[in-house]
């Protein structure tokens, strides 16, 4: 039913994270009376951890290739929003690096949270912390939100509601996916949430020896003979897993394909197979009289070289030129394709984002629920996740702003 709006529209925002604060600012700027309901004692806890405390708040490249999930609406929303201009307008200056990653000029995440908090206050948005929303009840007009607060249960009524409660990654930041069953019960399709942008546990007898080492390489995720995706960058070895940004960007595939995935590490991606053979022969000429353990130290950290040599049956203490021809071939092969079968999935506690959430099928092009008009979604709660590099926060700001603007205009 459409009615003339005579009083100020009330908007409830569930979650005071990145997308919730953006939504609150947009709704308040559009004239609504906005209340942010945050379960933790303060808003923006996760934001302070982003980018190792520096907050990689966006990326200049907002092309669809960096996003995954079932929200086709995202491309239009991302393309129509300029995070740098948005922050500049709030008094926050941005710097970007050669890969297009944007950071606050201060290089501290606290500056980003301050900018958002100051702007939300200037716009008149109110915040209720220690308020965990437990149920969303659509009414004839508007919504009733049930919540647990430090002083007991409380019910609040709003004309429209924005669900900005995030995914299930990093649950210590207040995000445990506990509202998903409520939203599912209201008729929304939920794509199973899985951890993404996280280390990938692998099977290897060598992880203990390699723990703590870092190496620049290219990593290909393979399912049988099929190469699914290759990422380049710095790989880090942990006691149970491979980590680093290139691994984070493959972790969504590990979540989907599980143990049928193998990670193939190319330690010399700048060389083809023939050039690797030539390089090894040159090294043998130069250092053949030395222990084999010295052979690769000009290319790789010593411990990595020793693990490779041992895996090929080469004694690290014997002279390098004593290595059999077969072992030479195996070593050349391993330098280009060192295989690590995936052993399982990291937990949400280790993940930066969630793959999965509310399906794009359940929402309109304006991020409004198809089942409950007046209920809007934004941020990581939706089934949309980006690569590592500022893509997820870019989505949080742009989807929050879109949902906030629409929620303020919604008429019961
Ligand atoms: C360690 C780490 C580093 C990261 N670094 C980056 C980075 O540098 N760049 C980047 O682009 N992305 C980064 N991300 C991802 C990015 O932080 C998230 O994608 C983004 O914060 C999602 O925004 P959101 O608003 O959807 O959810 P969140 O920011 O997670 O906010 C959700 C809020 O809702 C609250 N909440 C949840 N349930 C309820 C409830 N029932 N009632 C009331 N409140 C509730 C939570 O307490 C939380 O405050 C990082 C993530 C982590 C964990």
Same domain for 279 and 139: no
- What's the average pLDDT block by block, 10 residues per block, for the chain (412 residues)? 65 98 98 98 98 97 94 95 97 96 98 98 97 97 96 96 98 96 98 96 96 97 96 97 96 93 97 94 94 94 96 94 91 96 95 97 97 98 97 98 97 77
Same domain for 139 and 222: no
Q: How many domains does the chain have?
A: 2
Is residue 241, in this structure, part of any structural domain at all?
yes
| Distance from the alpha carbon of residue 309 to the mean position of ligand 1, in angstroms | 44
Tokens of 34: 């906005």
Rounded CA gap, 72 and 62, in Å?
14
DSSP SS3 for 267 = coil
Tokens of 338: 């060192």
Is residue 29, in this structure, part of any structural domain at all?
yes
| Distance from the alpha carbon of residue 295 to the mean position of ligand 1, in angstroms | 46
Is residue 5, in this structure, part of any structural domain at all?
no
The number of C-alpha atoms within 13 Å of 176 and in the hemisphere containing its C-beta is 9
Identify the pLDDT of residue 378. 98
Identify the pLDDT of residue 271. 95
Same domain for 339 and 223: yes
Which residue among 315, 346, 377 closes a domain?
346
Ligand 1 atom 30: the closest Cα is on which residue?
A: 166
Identify the pLDDT of residue 1. 43
CATH number at residue 179: 3.50.50.60
DSSP SS3 for 357 = strand
13 DSSP β-pair partners: 36, 162
Rounded CA gap, 294 and 296, in Å?
6
Same domain for 400 and 363: yes
Which residue among 346, 368, 399 closes a domain?
346
For the sheet with 241-243, list strands across it.
200-201, 241-243, 226-237, 214-223, 261-266, 338-341
Same domain for 186 and 94: yes
Domain containing 146 equals 10-192+356-409
Same domain for 340 and 238: yes
Identify the pLDDT of residue 6. 58
Ligand 1 neighbour 111 (Cβ under 6 A): no
Is residue 4, in this structure, part of any structural domain at all?
no
10-14 and 353-358 strand pairing = unpaired
227-233 own/partner pairs: CB under 8 Å, 24+ apart: 227/264, 228/253, 228/257, 228/261, 229/253, 232/269
Is residue 103, in this structure, part of any structural domain at all?
yes
Most informative mutation of 78, 149, 163, 174 for ligand 1 (most atoms within 8 A of CB): 174
Same domain for 134 and 23: yes
Same domain for 328 and 220: yes
Same domain for 173 and 35: yes
Identify the pLDDT of residue 3. 45
Same domain for 150 and 49: yes
| Distance from the alpha carbon of residue 72 to the mean position of ligand 1, in angstroms | 21
| Distance from the alpha carbon of residue 90 to the mean position of ligand 1, in angstroms | 21
Helix, strand, coil abundance in the chain, percent, nearest 5: 35, 30, 35
Rounded CA gap, 90 and 260, in Å?
47
| Distance from the alpha carbon of residue 326 to the mean position of ligand 1, in angstroms | 52
Which residue among 301, 322, 346 closes a domain?
346
Is residue 323, in this structure, part of any structural domain at all?
yes
Is residue 1, in this structure, part of any structural domain at all?
no
- CA-based end-to-end distance of the chain: 6
Q: How much is the CA Rg of the chain, to the nearest whole Å?
A: 25
Rounded CA gap, 237 and 215, in Å?
9
Rounded CA gap, 88 and 9, in Å?
28
Is residue 3, in this structure, part of any structural domain at all?
no
Contacts of 8 by beta carbon, 8 Å cutoff, 6+ apart: 31, 32, 33
Ligand 1 neighbour 18 (Cβ under 6 A): yes
Same domain for 401 and 265: no
Rounded CA gap, 360 and 46, in Å?
24
Same domain for 162 and 140: yes
């Amino acid at each position: 039913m459409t009615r003339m709006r005579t009083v100020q529209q009330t908007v409830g925002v569930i979650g005071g994270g990145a997308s919730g604060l953006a939504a609150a600012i947009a709704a308040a700027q559009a004239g609504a009376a906005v209340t942010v309901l945050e379960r933790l004692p303060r808003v923006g806890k996760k934001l302070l951890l982003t980018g190792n405390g520096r907050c990689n708040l966006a990326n200049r490249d907002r092309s669809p290739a960096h996003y995954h999930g079932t929200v086709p609406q995202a491309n239009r929303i991302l393309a129509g929003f300029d995070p740098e201009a948005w922050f500049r307008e709030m008094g926050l200056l941005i710097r970007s690096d050669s890969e297009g990653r944007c950071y606050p000029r201060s290089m501290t995440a606290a500056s980003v949270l301050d900018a958002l908090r100051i702007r939300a206050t200037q716009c008149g948005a109110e915040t209720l912390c220690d308020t965990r929303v437990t149920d969303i009840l659509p009414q004839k007009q508007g919504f009733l939100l049930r919540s647990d607060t430090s002083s007991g249960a409380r019910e609040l009524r709003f004309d429209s509601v924005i669900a900005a409660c995030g995914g299930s990654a990093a649950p210590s930041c207040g995000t445990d996916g506990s509202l998903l069953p409520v939203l599912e019960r209201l008729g929304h399709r939920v794509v199973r949430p899985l951890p993404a942008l996280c280390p990938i546990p692998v099977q290897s007898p060598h992880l203990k020896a390699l723990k703590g080492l870092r190496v620049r390489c290219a990593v290909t995720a393979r399912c049988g003979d099929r190469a699914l995706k290759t990422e380049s960058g710095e790989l880090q070895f942990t006691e149970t897993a491979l980590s680093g940004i290139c691994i984070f960007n493959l972790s969504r595939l590990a979540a989907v394909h599980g143990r049928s995935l193998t990670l193939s590490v190319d330690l010399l991606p700048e060389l083809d197979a023939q050039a690797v053979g030539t390089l090894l022969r040159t090294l043998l000429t130069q250092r053949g009289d030395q222990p084999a353990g010295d052979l690769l130290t000009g290319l790789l950290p010593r411990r990595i070289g020793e693990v490779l040599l041992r895996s090929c049956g080469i004694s690290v203490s014997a002279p390098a030129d004593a290595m059999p021809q077969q072992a030479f071939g195996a070593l050349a092969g391993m330098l280009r394709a060192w295989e690590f079968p995936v052993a399982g999935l990291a937990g949400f506690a280790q993940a930066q984002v969630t793959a999965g959430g509310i399906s794009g099928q359940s929402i309109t092009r304006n991020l409004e629920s198809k089942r409950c008009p007046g209920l809007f979604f934004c941020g990581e709660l939706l089934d949309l996740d980006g690569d590592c590099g500022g893509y997820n926060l870019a989505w949080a700001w742009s989807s929050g702003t879109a949902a906030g603007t629409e929620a303020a205009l919604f008429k019961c």
